[in-house]
Chains A and B, each alone.
Chain A
């Protein structure tokens, strides 16, 4: 089986934000892979590692999440794979809960968020972001 990390949603994935159930709570599981060295889109000089640049984003995003009623749940560094095989294991995971798909779009469209997002794309090589609906285990 194959898997590919991305930095941005593709067209179909963008459209899905407006389709189906756009109003009820969703949870996101982010599987993150960082660049070795951060690379900013504006070409600025930096000594930051990818993880360090992403940490700036992770810090700033807390406020953006809270503005749309979303919250970080938990996260941390991947230490190993206990089951299965992955050619290129992710570095970190992060879980966040959003009130709706609509709220997530609202956050992404906010110009302050887009400013913080520069650190995300500077540090992040790519990721999976899995949307799920919390229920009983």
Chain B
């Protein structure tokens, strides 16, 4: 009985979605690439722009097994190595006036298609671009960053000018 109710609900939702718009879906497959390090152009971007706060939206994909740059032996998974970085980075963030906002493990994609779904979403607020650059180039950070590169297969990091959900 429950199964039939479920089917009926799914059917109703299907009908509801059919009536929502009627626009055809013009979207095409687009290429994307996760990266561990920024390009020279992306690095140069830290010197440009206004001195205003922004959000960094990180979409993270971990390696199955951690691989350290210095070749050390490790039994850590990629996610475990990244967790060491995530723990240590809190102090580095706070030194430059940045703060983690929220984050967590990706459970599924509700809309759209991604060839390889990311593992984790993490959102951080920085006071300005200079602050992020300052953090990324500090000695202490670079020490912690070894765990990041050990664990991370790649990521997107999207810079967002925060507004009050104003889309105009």
- Interface residues, chain A, with chain B CB atoms under 8 Å away: 1-9, 11, 13-18, 21, 26-29, 31-34, 39, 41-42, 51-52, 54-55, 58, 72-90, 92-95, 105, 108-109, 114, 117-118, 121-122, 125-135, 137
Closest chain A CB from B63 CB (angstroms): 15
Known: A14-B10, A93-B158. A1 touches B31 (CB 8 A): yes
Extra A-B contacts (16), CB below 8 Å, given A118-B20, A121-B20: A1-B32, A3-B30, A4-B27, A4-B112, A6-B113, A7-B21, A14-B13, A54-B167, A79-B54, A81-B157, A86-B32, A94-B167, A95-B123, A128-B114, A130-B118, A135-B103
Query: Do the beta carbons of A117 and B21 come within 8 Å of each other?
Result: yes
Which listed residue (B10, B12, B27, B32) contacts A84, Cβ 8 A?
B32
- Tell me if B102 is interfacial: C-beta within 8 Å of chain A: yes
The residues of A that contact B109 with a CB separation of less than 8 Å are: 13, 128-131
- Tell me if B120 is interfacial: C-beta within 8 Å of chain A: yes
Q: Which partner residue on chain B sits nearest A84 by CB separation?
A: B156
Known: A81-B42, A117-B21. A26 touches B156 (CB 8 A): no
Interchain CA distance A1-B55 in the complex, whole Å? 25
The residues of A that contact B122 with a CB separation of less than 8 Å are: 137
Interchain CA distance A111-B156 in the complex, whole Å? 36
Closest chain B CB from A32 CB (angstroms): 8
Query: Do the beta carbons of A4 and B30 come within 8 Å of each other?
Result: yes
Query: Do the beta carbons of B20 and A128 come within 8 Å of each other?
Result: no
